[in-house]
């Protein structure tokens, strides 16, 4: 029934002279999303609007689902096309349209006509008035409300006539590729995939890094992180996942440092390595799934101690979120079921019974001196032997 989709975008409309860059990025991302759908489509920009034309048979539900993953879209309007065979025929088409699309027949509405083709015999205001009357006759329980209608029935007079009124909400945000790149520290947990999603929603392209510790962490745990990267890539586009073998570094810290400081020192090395890879990959920020006070390593004191090793900004979009709020988003973006699979992550193997919650930076730095002999070599080896996978759906 629907032969095209009109794409509504709000925020990117206000970017002045750079507007076309945002629109082009949005068009690119829509094309990528449509590659996951059966059918042939054409995405184009005309007169400050983005349209998706459907050129073949297609699966409506699936197509809408895929378009809904494109950041920058606030609304998706499925459009019916009818031939211009005179105004009376148009009235019939509109009535048939309302019966199908708004079968309740008791809403408030207004008609909003637009003549892209100026030789149409009626002017926009006349179309609004005439069609309004026809609708009121056909649906006695519908009412006109020009200020705040439940249904705005758009009639666009082009070569053909376009009818649309349904607005399916999009994810909002900004198109990927309009805000630079950042490196996500991706673990197998619930939080970091959500953190990546949230930063990508603002247009940031994501790379990722995962630290694993074979044989203490299994191949299954790694597969799970790859699966999570693939799930997040539905929204972010392909993710380059750097997989770092962290075992020797962890064991060395375990041997040399006080156990209650293990987690903090380990996290400082994760951040250091993530930053090194970030800079090599043209990323200008790091992203983590940390949230204040969720665990001992995420108190303000611990965050301060971890953050101290970084020179790049660290984005922590979940910092003020409760676990339940994070879980809700992970359900929405379809990562929850994978995140809760029970494979150990490398931090849980080496956790102390009583980790510090108020680490002293002075003590941490003092104890890190006991790593001086080997740590630089271990870090270099971990970075140079990393595995890189391109994760995409
Ligand atoms: P998550 O649910 O994201 O695993 P968490 O609640 O388990 O988070 P921590 O284990 O303290 O919290 O990790 C805090 C953040 O550090 C994670 O959100 C993630 O960004 C990063 N991180 C932790 N472990 C790893 C890892 N093995 N590889 C990459 N990043 C990690
Ligand atoms: Mg974790």
The CATH code of the domain that includes 91 is 3.30.2130.30
How far is 146 from 332, CA to CA, in rounded Å?
Answer: 35
Nearest ligand, CA 192: 1
Co-location of 18 and 41 in the same domain = yes
Question: Does the beta carbon of 289 lie inside 6 Å of ligand 1?
Answer: yes
In sequence order, what are the residues at sequence separation of 6 or more whose Cβ sits closer than 8 angstroms to the Cβ of residue 352?
259, 260, 262, 263
- For residues 192-203, average pLDDT: 97
Q: Residue 245 C-alpha to ligand 1 middle, in angstroms? A: 15
Provide the edge-to-edge strand list for the sheet that holds 181-185.
314-315, 286-287, 181-185, 205-212, 239-245, 387-391
H or E stretch including 197? helix 191-200
Of 387, 392, 66, nearest to 231 by C-alpha is 392
How close is the Cα of 382 to the center of ligand 1, in Å?
A: 18
Which residue, 207, 195, 222, 227, is CA-closest to 346? 222
Specify the number of domains making up the chain: 2
- pLDDT tens per residue across span 271-320: 999 999 999 999 999 999 999 988 778 889 999 999 999 999 999 999 99
Cβ(345) to ligand 1 under 6 A?
yes
The CATH number of residue 357's host domain is 3.40.50.620
Q: To 10 degrees, what angle do helices 247-256 and 262-280 make?
A: 140
Closest among 81, 50, 55 to 160, alpha carbons compared: 81
User: Is residue 162 pLDDT above 60, yes or no?
Assistant: yes
How is residue 70 annotated by DSSP? -
**Centre of ligand 1 from the C-alpha of residue 347, in Å:** 8
Instruction: Give the span between the Cα atoms of 253 and 265, in whole angstroms.
Output: 8
From the alpha carbon of 184, which atom of ligand 1 is closest? Answer: 20
Ligand 1 proximity of 263 Cβ (cutoff 6 Å): no
Q: Indicate if 153 and 12 belong to the same structural domain.
A: yes
Question: Are 230 and 346 within one domain?
Answer: yes
Model confidence over 321-365: pLDDT tens digits? 999 999 999 999 999 999 999 876 655 567 777 888 888 999 999
Question: What is the model's pLDDT at position 193?
Answer: 98
Provide the domain limits for residue 141.
4-169
Whether 132 shows a pLDDT value over 70: the answer reads yes
The whole-angstrom separation of Cα 288 and Cα 295 is 14
- Name the strand (E) or helix (H) holding 77: strand 75-82
Residue 156 CA, distance from chain mean position = 32
219 and 105 within one domain = no
């Amino acid at each position: 029934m629907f032969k095209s989709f009109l794409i509504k975008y709000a925020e990117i409309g206000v970017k002045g002279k750079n507007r076309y860059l945002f629109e082009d990025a949005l068009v690119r991302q829509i094309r990528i999303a449509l590659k996951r759908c059966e059918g042939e489509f054409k995405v184009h920009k005309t007169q400050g609007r983005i349209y998706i034309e459907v050129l073949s048979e297609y699966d409506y539900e699936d197509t809408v689902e895929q378009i809904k993953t494109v950041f920058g879209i606030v609304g998706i309007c499925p459009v019916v096309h009818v031939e211009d065979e005179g105004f009376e025929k148009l009235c019939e088409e509109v009535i048939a349209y309302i019966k199908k699309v708004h079968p309740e027949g008791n809403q408030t509405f207004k008609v909003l006509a637009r003549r892209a083709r100026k030789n149409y015999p009626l002017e926009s205001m006349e179309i609004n008035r005439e069609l309004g009357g026809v609708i009121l006759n056909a649906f006695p329980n519908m009412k006109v409300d020009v200020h705040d209608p439940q249904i705005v029935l758009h009639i666009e007079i082009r070569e053909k006539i376009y009818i649309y009124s349904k607005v399916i909400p999009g994810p909002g945000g900004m198109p990927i590729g309009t805000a630079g790149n950042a490196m996500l520290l991706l673990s197998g947990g619930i939080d970091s995939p959500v953190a990546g999603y949230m930063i990508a929603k603002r247009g940031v392209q994501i790379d990722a890094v995962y630290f694993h510790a074979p044989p203490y962490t299994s191949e299954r745990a790694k597969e799970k992180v790859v699966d999570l990267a693939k799930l997040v890539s539905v929204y972010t586009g392909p993710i380059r996942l750097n997989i770092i073998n962290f075992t020797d570094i962890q064991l060395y810290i375990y041997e040399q440092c006080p156990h209650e400081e293990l987690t903090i020192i380990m996290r400082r090395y994760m951040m250091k390595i993530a930053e090194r890879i970030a800079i090599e990959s043209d990323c200008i920020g790091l992203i983590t799934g940390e949230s204040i006070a969720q665990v001992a390593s995420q108190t303000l004191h611990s965050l301060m101690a971890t953050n101290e090793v970084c020179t790049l900004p660290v984005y922590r979009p979940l910092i003020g979120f409760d676990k339940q709020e994070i879980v809700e988003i992970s359900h929405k973006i379809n990562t929850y079921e994978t995140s809760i699979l029970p494979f150990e992550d490398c931090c849980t193997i080496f956790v102390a019974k009583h980790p510090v919650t108020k680490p002293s930076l002075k003590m941490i730095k003092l104890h890190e001196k006991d790593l001086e002999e080997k740590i630089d070599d271990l870090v270099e080896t971990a970075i140079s032997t990393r595995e890189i996978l391109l994760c995409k759906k």
